Structure 1
Amino acid sequence: MKLTNIMIGLFLGVGLISSCQSEIDEAKGYGYLQLSSIDVNKGVETRADITESEAIAVDILDESNAVVQHADDWRNLDDVILPVATYTIKAYSADKNMETQGFDAQPYYAGQKDVVIEANKAKNVNITCKLAQTMVSVNCSETFKSTFAGYTCYIEGADALSIPFVEDEARAAYVKAGQPLTVKVDFGNGKSFSQEITSKAEAAYHYKVNLDITEGNAGFDISVDQTIHQYDVTVKVPTKQESADMVTSDIKNDASKVWGQFAYLSGSCNLAEITSPVQFRYKKKADAEWTTIEAVQEEGTKNYSAKVAPLDFGTEYEYYILCGDKAGETCTFTTESYVEIPNLNFDTWSQNEKDWYPNADASNSYWSTGNEGVTLGGNSNSVGVSDSYSGLAAQLQTVEVTMFVFVKVKAAGNIFIGSYKTNAQDPASSVTFGRDYSGARPTKLSGYFKYQPGATMSDGSVPSEKLEKDECDIYIQLWSGGETIGEGHFITNETVSEYTHFEIPIEYTVTNKRPDKIAIVATSSRYGGYFDGMNVIGQLAIGSTLWVDDFELSYY
């Protein structure tokens, strides 16, 4: 089976009709565009051969992507005079829907090219329309058919795509390009086998899936023939699928099991007699060698699990459960990806007049402080200093500033991931903690600090008990959909004169969700952010100073 290319010839007319030529001569800022022909390349075929009657629509779009000319059939598009500019010519199947998937879908062709219209100049422009979808078919070997009975194969993809290929189904299906595709074999009785065949299906390619059997672990091989745009995908399904003695749990979509640099493998062993230790084997999908790890049995069950670490970020792994010569099916998972948090070492600072910022652009663009509020009545109290563990450090100091000539306001030194916009009438609303985050879930925040509590505690109603000394607070918080899923604090009131290492384990109260927002916060006075109007009601001490440096996130 081959895929069709449709050639559309678009060119600026060489022999322009006299009336149009006259118009061009009078308006030097215009050029002439003429659609001349469609050439169907009969040497390549899709499931349904394309003929000269294939309806191809054409759009001409200007630089703002607005359609300036359209024709449902390119042959009905009159000669076009266009102002000098760059245009995009799009050609596509006029009577088909690219969103339709399955056996009933029709091939959808599309192509485009930019063309520069120049005054009184003729050009030739060719557009190649190619298949915008992916083709996929499934073939089962005779040994597969004789080994397994009563099975159904499915091609699964994004948005709940599931196309059934019953036994001896010879047709190919069209699916949307760009999505992951998985072949699944349902054997009935709750038993099934799955194998991803591509993480991103290519347009204008045919994926021919060939199912065979193996006495060992699942096998997967893929080759490509660029001359006919075809992937030959061979999947070897273990014959052990007939038995439910060893079951590998599919953790691919379980956020509680798959993290950035570790995963919890799980499965069950239903053998009447277990003569060997139950183990898991795992490896990077791209590697050849397996790593074996002992499994731990859950008390009172036939379920087993094992934590594997360290793993690489954003990497696909394979694994299966094993007992003696009995093995479960091979499953896959992909670890969470790493996303860098900028300026964790606090070496980058910039200044705008009296305001200091822990970013390079003299704004609260990622990390923020309350400096813009403090400098209304004093100087920045959260600054970068050379008194550091390495490079620069953040020095955060609790101060008292005079606002509006006569109003004295206490302000804790702070640095945090989030945004700050001064609201002098309601200081508590000036701060918004956290920024969008799509990276792996960290398990620990560590770094270095010094702390000097201030000499005299102020009165305040928060907390309710009387504090003898001020307290600093360093913490991390992660959210998902507005819900806190993980958090950890480091709090002390001790005087620490030399840079000292700290570690904050992150406790996840929700493990089956991945974060969409993160905040890291450090403050010289733990209760400095509690306000009643403009008045700080948190107990604190003027002069309390916290130095922090070289923060680091760990992931296992």
Structure 2
Amino acid sequence: MKLTNIMIGLFLGVGLISSCQSEIDEAKGYGYLQLSSVDVNKSVTTRADITSSEAIAVDILNASNTVVKHADDWKTLDDVLLPVATYTIKAYSADKNMETQGFDALPYYEGQSSVAIEANKAKTVEITCKLAQTMVSVSCSESFKSTFSDYTCYIEGADALSIPFVKDETRTAYVKAGQSLTVKVDFGNGKTFSQEIVSKSEAAYHYKVTLDITDSNAGIDISVDQTIHQYDVTVKVPTKQESADMVTSDIRNDASKVWGQFAYLSGACNLEEITSPVQFRYKKKADSEWTTVEAVQEEGTKNYSAKVAPLDFGTQYEYYILCGDKAGETCTFTTESYVEIPNLNFDTWSQNGKNWYPNADASNSYWATGNEGVTLGGSSNSTGVEDSHSGLAAQLQTVQVKVLIVKVTAAGNIFIGNYKTNTSNPASSVSFGRDYTGARPTKLSGYFKYQPGATMSDGSVPSEKLEKDECDIYIQLWSGGETIGEGHFITNETVSEYTHFEIPIEYTVTNKRPDKIAIVATSSRYGGYFDGMNVIGQLAIGSTLWVDDFELSYY
């Protein structure tokens, strides 16, 4: 049977029926949304056990991404009276779980469109619901079957995905789109073969993998038929599989081994006698020339490793272990991708009233400061200035302002995150960090000046008495709410000229990749400690920190 593309037709209008018209006449700022038809376009071959019926739910969302109307079945959604505005219409499989992967997963369809409702005007809009997953199947040529009598094939991907395709398996599996997919053949006795078939799988495509044999090096042939959304992938497996004497460790899913611009290659040499230096060879998959590096033996074991750098972001590499004329299996890995942190040089500033923002849109949209709180009783204390290393710099100053009838001390600060003033609980005004999916940095560097204030305040944090105020520049990364990496630069010295600093990032967890990042700079290290409205951190009014031209390093 056929994979369905589901078309939902929508009719927007007034004057649909006389009763609708009369209601709109009474409310000129409204229009009607009507779902009028569904068209099924059968275009791509899918699994034979999938039924043709498809329950489609619909959400109507406003500009704030709030659902203003939902229907479990689009057919039950009556005419909807909506205020004049732009809406997003989302349609999706009502009874499926998109996260399920494997033979038991069912196809999940989704699609969306936007529409502007205008008073007293009729419009039409169509939504095409397409398959949101990737389909994959594995078959073996007769030559492969006759050459190898005992084997199991697996399709592997992100999040420990491993789908077994035993001999003569004919079923098709559904997996999440957008992930790297690899076919792995386990021959037993420690012999395996792996080949990446796609670095980023596409939704609504079927990857039909055929395993064949070759007497030389492994290879892969790919052809695409756009008319039926199908990739035909032929993987050529060498007829002679290396023994377990030389084992190249598969590191592609090991976050502790694969970073943005470096990787730790690993493997084992189980030969009785090692007469030649053990080495690793690696290259970009797209290149033809290999680079050789010496391997380092782990004391008391037959395991070897080597750090290779610098590598390119988001690039697939091949590698294998080598001892004399004996080589291990060729494996692959893909380095972490680069994601740019905006305005690291602090050259971009914008103003809204008394508030200055380190972003172009006059809001705390990526970088933030506490200016919105400080300007309740004074002027912004975190601003862009021409006294810089280059362009503009961020000047952060500890000040005292009067908010309502209370005097409040506020440290100058700039940070990746958000700020929303809470006068009754100032400590909760700050939210550090934003989503991050880029490569893990190994160092934060930049330029700074610092002038501690003249007189320290009393305070209970820290417990020991400080003689001078301290500035703090730091970076922090999280994964699932857990801190995995952090680094600080702290000083109380007067630094009158822009001076370079470097902050190595210490990763206490190396087997996880970050999902959140924060970079913070403050003129008073303990300025963020509050007891109600009162600052209990020791600091000095007038302490000023200048920071400029931050940079992240990745190896």
Normalised TM-score (structure 1): 0.77
Matched residue type, 1:223: S
1:282–1:317 Cα contact (<8 Å) kept: yes
Aligned ranges 1:369-408 → 2 under 5 Å: 369-405=369-405, 407-408=406-407
Paired with 2:348 and 2:39, the residues of 1 have a C-alpha distance of 60
Paired with 1:410 and 1:61, the residues of 2 have a C-alpha distance of 51
Partner residue, 1:457 = 456
2:131–2:203 Cα contact (<8 Å) kept: no
1:134–1:201 Cα contact (<8 Å) kept: no
Partner residue, 2:331 = 331
Paired with 1:288 and 1:417, the residues of 2 have a C-alpha distance of 42
Paired with 1:275 and 1:510, the residues of 2 have a C-alpha distance of 37
Paired with 2:7 and 2:495, the residues of 1 have a C-alpha distance of 77
Paired with 2:59 and 2:510, the residues of 1 have a C-alpha distance of 49
1:442–1:506 Cα contact (<8 Å) kept: yes
Q: Check 1:160–1:36 CA distance in 2 against 1; reply closer, same or farther (3 A cut).
A: closer
Partner residue, 1:491 = 490
Aligned ranges 1:531-542 → 2 under 5 Å: 531-542=530-541
1:208–1:230 Cα contact (<8 Å) kept: no
Partner residue, 1:265 = 265
Deviation at 1:228, TM superposition (A): 7.1
2:209–2:235 Cα contact (<8 Å) kept: no
Partner residue, 2:246 = 246
1:396–1:412 Cα contact (<8 Å) kept: yes
Deviation at 1:179, TM superposition (A): 6.2
Matched residue type, 1:293: V
Deviation at 1:155, TM superposition (A): 3.9
1:287 corresponds to 2:292? no
Structure with greater Cα Rg: 1
Aligned ranges 1:286-365 → 2 under 5 Å: 286-365=286-365
Matched residue type, 2:452: P
Q: Check 1:455–1:258 CA distance in 2 against 1; reply closer, same or farther (3 A cut).
A: same
Deviation at 1:135, TM superposition (A): 5.8
Partner residue, 2:26 = none
Matched residue type, 2:303: N
Deviation at 1:285, TM superposition (A): 2.2
Deviation at 1:36, TM superposition (A): 13
Q: Deviations over 1:227-276 (max 9, x none)?
A: 77654423233455351011111111111111111111111111112222
Q: Check 1:145–1:511 CA distance in 2 against 1; reply closer, same or farther (3 A cut).
A: same
Paired with 1:535 and 1:237, the residues of 2 have a C-alpha distance of 70
1:508 corresponds to 2:495? no
1:139–1:170 Cα contact (<8 Å) kept: no
Deviation at 1:134, TM superposition (A): 3.6
2:211–2:237 Cα contact (<8 Å) kept: no
Deviation at 1:489, TM superposition (A): 1.0
Deviation at 1:301, TM superposition (A): 1.2
Q: Check 1:7–1:501 CA distance in 2 against 1; reply closer, same or farther (3 A cut).
A: closer
User: Matched residue of 1:373: which SS?
Assistant: helix
2:153–2:183 Cα contact (<8 Å) kept: yes
Paired with 1:99 and 1:409, the residues of 2 have a C-alpha distance of 49
Normalised TM-score (structure 2): 0.77
Paired with 1:61 and 1:496, the residues of 2 have a C-alpha distance of 60
User: Matched residue of 2:343: which SS?
Assistant: coil
Paired with 2:7 and 2:485, the residues of 1 have a C-alpha distance of 59
Paired with 2:268 and 2:504, the residues of 1 have a C-alpha distance of 31
Paired with 1:25 and 1:545, the residues of 2 have a C-alpha distance of 68
1:210–1:232 Cα contact (<8 Å) kept: no
Paired with 1:481 and 1:504, the residues of 2 have a C-alpha distance of 24
1:158–1:179 Cα contact (<8 Å) kept: no
Deviation at 1:215, TM superposition (A): 4.7
Deviation at 1:425, TM superposition (A): 3.2
Q: Check 1:55–1:445 CA distance in 2 against 1; reply closer, same or farther (3 A cut).
A: closer
Q: Check 1:507–1:135 CA distance in 2 against 1; reply closer, same or farther (3 A cut).
A: closer
Q: Deviations over 1:466-513 (max 9, x none)?
A: 322222111111122222111111111221111111111111111111
Partner residue, 1:209 = 210
Task: Point out the more displaced range, 465-474 or 340-349.
Answer: 465-474
Paired with 1:426 and 1:499, the residues of 2 have a C-alpha distance of 35
User: Matched residue of 1:196: which SS?
Assistant: strand
Paired with 1:227 and 1:289, the residues of 2 have a C-alpha distance of 37
May I ask how many residue pairs the two structures share in their alignment?
519
Paired with 1:39 and 1:383, the residues of 2 have a C-alpha distance of 57
User: Matched residue of 2:318: which SS?
Assistant: strand
Deviation at 1:145, TM superposition (A): 4.2
Q: Deviations over 1:356-389 (max 9, x none)?
A: 2212222222212122222222221111111111
Paired with 2:540 and 2:40, the residues of 1 have a C-alpha distance of 81
CA RMSD, Structure 1 to Structure 2 (Å): 4.7
Matched residue type, 2:211: N
Matched residue type, 1:476: I
Matched residue type, 1:462: V
Q: Deviations over 1:407-427 (max 9, x none)?
A: 333222111112222233332
Aligned ranges 1:74-473 → 2 under 5 Å: 134=135, 136-142=137-143, 144-145=144-145, 147-156=147-156, 164-167=164-167, 169=168, 171=170, 173=172, 175=174, 178=177, 181-198=181-198, 199-200=200-201, 203=204, 205=206, 207-216=208-217, 218-224=218-224, 231-239=231-239, 241-405=241-405, 407-473=406-472
Matched residue type, 2:342: P
Matched residue type, 1:139: C
Paired with 1:486 and 1:412, the residues of 2 have a C-alpha distance of 25
Paired with 1:397 and 1:243, the residues of 2 have a C-alpha distance of 66
Matched residue type, 1:210: L
User: Matched residue of 2:241: which SS?
Assistant: helix
Paired with 2:408 and 2:20, the residues of 1 have a C-alpha distance of 70
Matched residue type, 1:396: L
User: Matched residue of 2:150: which SS?
Assistant: coil
Q: Deviations over 1:426-467 (max 9, x none)?
A: 322222222222211111111111111122222333223332
Matched residue type, 1:380: S
Deviation at 1:4, TM superposition (A): 6.1
Q: Check 1:244–1:152 CA distance in 2 against 1; reply closer, same or farther (3 A cut).
A: same
Partner residue, 1:545 = 544
Q: Check 1:48–1:464 CA distance in 2 against 1; reply closer, same or farther (3 A cut).
A: closer
Paired with 1:37 and 1:354, the residues of 2 have a C-alpha distance of 55
Q: Deviations over 1:163-204 (max 9, x none)?
A: 55444x284635458365432212123432222223415646
- Gapped regions of structure 1 (runs ≥ 5): 12-23, 72-81, 117-122
Deviation at 1:225, TM superposition (A): 5.0
Paired with 1:274 and 1:66, the residues of 2 have a C-alpha distance of 69
